[in-house]
A = this chain, B = another copy of it.
């Protein structure tokens, strides 16, 4: 493609919450910015729908309350929730944290190459990027396989790196049958890290058994607390990563960790002085986190954000993690998608109703090139 042939506009999915409380999801044709020094233009061919993207797309909206308005979808946010969105009001926000595609303009040596990238605005026909910030895909990794090589793989690796940096020796993970959870099972098996997997359904137990997970606890079972305590005692886990957030799950884990401690030699009402840490990294359940404090005073419940964690772990750890993701793109870090849809399909109420469920087996991939107007 010569510079004259390079596209000058493309579709971009935008989510707006207005200061009047209207939510509007729209696929807008927008002019592309001119490329700056060292920049490239990527035609997006694969971008996943991650839970984090749904947070940006829908804000507080239940997708079942959206209605069509021409080609857009509209809904409304209750006035009392609007202050939570102070910093995004009236801004048509781009969506899509990561993806892959083909370089179509910019540095000539890059044009034609397939690359993966992240940093937002991926739910679009085209994405401008710094050439140095993208990762070239090996020939044997398809573009679809390259779509999700950042958020989940780096998050899973950051969990294990954080475990080591904070002097724990084993992990508990919830929503463990997710794409991310399956990656974590493989990483921990390879690295010899004991991992307790918490799932919510019997079929998810089977799924994880199928990939060799050793400790799998089904939180829907009546003896969940006892099983969890026993698995934590066996593994010695004092660190957990929780994708659920709401309800008592984080609290259940902290209490199980305390029960798994050896008896106190000298009794105090403050429990063991072994640090018990749960990080909440997702919000599959938006309801309040309910903490039954029966685990003494040596505990911590914290948010976990990938970018902040990477900053703490430092540049050397990040390079090590990225190299591992590239080397194991087709194995450890392979994602599976229930369906591939076009970019306009994001605004199809029926499809949106499925992928917005954030549950195992409803993970979708978007291929904007599949419905890009000629």
A residues touching B (Cβ–Cβ < 8 Å)?
52, 55-56, 59, 83-84, 86-88, 91, 93, 245-246, 251, 259, 263-264, 267-270, 273, 280-281, 283, 286, 288-294, 296-305, 307-308
Contact = CB atoms under 8 A, between A and B. Distances in A.
A290 B287 CA distance: 10
A298 B303 contact: yes
A281 B263 contact: no
A130 B238 CA distance: 35
Number of copies: 2
A303 B308 contact: no
26 contacts: A84-B294, A86-B263, A87-B263, A93-B267, A245-B293, A251-B288, A270-B305, A273-B305, A273-B307, A280-B293, A280-B297, A289-B290, A289-B293, A291-B291, A293-B303, A296-B305, A297-B303, A297-B305, A297-B308, A298-B308, A299-B302, A299-B303, A300-B301, A300-B302, A300-B303, A301-B301
Contact of A303 (B59, B91, B286, B296): B296
A280 B300 CA distance: 10
A291 B294 contact: no
Nearest to A292: B288
Nearest to A86: B263
B298 A301 contact: no
Given A288-B293, A289-B293, A264 B52 contact: no
Nearest to A301: B301
B269 A56 contact: yes
Given A59-B269, A87-B264, A289-B293, 19 more contacts: A52-B269, A91-B267, A245-B293, A251-B288, A270-B305, A283-B293, A288-B292, A288-B293, A289-B290, A291-B291, A293-B303, A297-B304, A297-B305, A297-B308, A298-B305, A299-B302, A299-B303, A301-B301, A302-B302
A305 B272 CA distance: 11
B87 A267 contact: yes
A304 to B, nearest CB: 7
A83 B304 CA distance: 32
A296 to B, nearest CB: 7
B297 A83 contact: no
Contacts of A293: 245-246, 280, 283, 286, 288-289, 303
A291 B250 CA distance: 11
Contact of A55 (B84, B269, B290): B269
Contacts of A286: 293
A24 B17 CA distance: 61
Contacts of A84: 294
Given A83-B259, A291-B288, A297 B281 contact: yes
A133 to B, nearest CB: 16
Contacts of A55: 269
A281 B297 CA distance: 7
A185 B355 CA distance: 52
A52 B281 CA distance: 33
A94 to B, nearest CB: 10
A283 B270 CA distance: 11
A357 to B, nearest CB: 18
Contacts of A292: 288
A22 B131 CA distance: 72
A304 B293 CA distance: 13
Contacts of A86: 263
